[in-house]
Amino acid sequence: MNLEILQNERLRLTVAPELGASVVGLELYQAGFWLPILRPTLPAALAQKHSPDTSSYVLAPYSNRIRDGRFRFGGKTYQLRPNWPDGRQTIHGEVHGRPWSAQRLDGHTLRCAFDASSLQDLNFPFPFRVEVAYRLQGDDLEISTMLTNVGTEPMPAGFGHHPYFMRRLGLSDEARISFEAQGVYLTDASCLPTQPAQALPPEFDFSRPRPLGATQLDHVFAGWKGRLQLDWPSSGWQMVLEADPIFSHLVVFTAPDGSVALEPVTHATDGFNLMSQGWDSTGVRVLEPGEEISGRLRLRLLPGG
């Protein structure tokens, strides 16, 4: 599998265009070693072309789960094929396991694109195009995403990114996480919202930096303020992730492998159905033919921690 590497004196980013333009490594150079910021991708994940086991992957034209793979839009009901091991859920969009085109714009920028308009096996009823650009600049990684409706009908739409962060950087203590949000969606056994976003209970409040410890999360935070911070104590480093306002929601998932997924997304889990039920502030966009939405993330490594 062909891998594209962007590298400077501080950061090294590795991307697999053939596997959904997924990130398969983001590392920080310190004292002669490359330390993983995102969980490393194992060779087996590349050999098996299993994008959920990469370091980070793209979510489009929707993020997270759609209940039983079924949603209503424009007075019609659409049934998608399950794409998750439980055989019921449709989750994380339609692009992360497919090959994308890639173009190096310069030594520090990689632009990847996926066009679904000619696919016969597309598991989504509306054609679309996604572009993602990765750019390294000093101690920053910038990720720009654009989603376009290339069909002849309106379509519900959204996107996001699914990075798995290391909870320890080298020999550091566990990272302290902080971010601000207005509320959290409480969910059922399928991790799907059962009621509109609620005020934050203490165990979901990360307005002050704190480690996750034994806390288990797989939740969507609403009204995310577009900024989160990871501090790795005793490492000398902290990370700040800033997002454009279109990323109104943040998913936090404590993965079984010990990493933590901090996922900037544009809409709530099962957002298409929640919108059709009249829920407010789902974040779902309706794109007219030819219309596009876009957003940028910036991941910054700063001295501290």
pLDDT, mean of residues 176-204: 92
pLDDT, mean of residues 136-153: 96
> Shortest CA distance to 251 belongs to which of 237, 273, 268?
268
87 CB-near residues (< 8 Å, 6+ apart): none
Dihedral angle sign, alpha carbons of residues 33, 38, 42, 46: negative
What the chain holds in terms of domains, given with CATH numbers, is 4-303 (2.70.98.10)
Per-residue confidence (pLDDT) for residue 86, from 0 to 100: 75
Per-residue confidence (pLDDT) for residue 233, from 0 to 100: 94
Reported as a single tens digit per residue, the pLDDT across 246-271 is 999 999 999 999 999 999 999 999 99
pLDDT, mean of residues 84-94: 85
Per-residue confidence (pLDDT) for residue 305, from 0 to 100: 67
107 pLDDT higher than 90: no
216 pLDDT higher than 70: yes
CA distances from 251 to 31, 69, 78, 144, 198 (A): 33, 19, 25, 19, 15
**Confidence band of 281 (pLDDT split at 50, 70, 90):** very high
Q: 33: exposed, middle or buried (C-beta count within 10 Å: 0-12, 13-18, 19+)?
A: exposed
Q: Report the distance separating Cα 75 and Cα 21, nearest Å.
A: 34
pLDDT, mean of residues 46-56: 96
Neighbours of 142 (CB within 10 A): 17
Strand partners, 145: 132, 295
Q: Report the predicted TM-score, pTM, of the whole model to 2 decimal places.
A: 0.96
**Confidence band of 87 (pLDDT split at 50, 70, 90):** confident
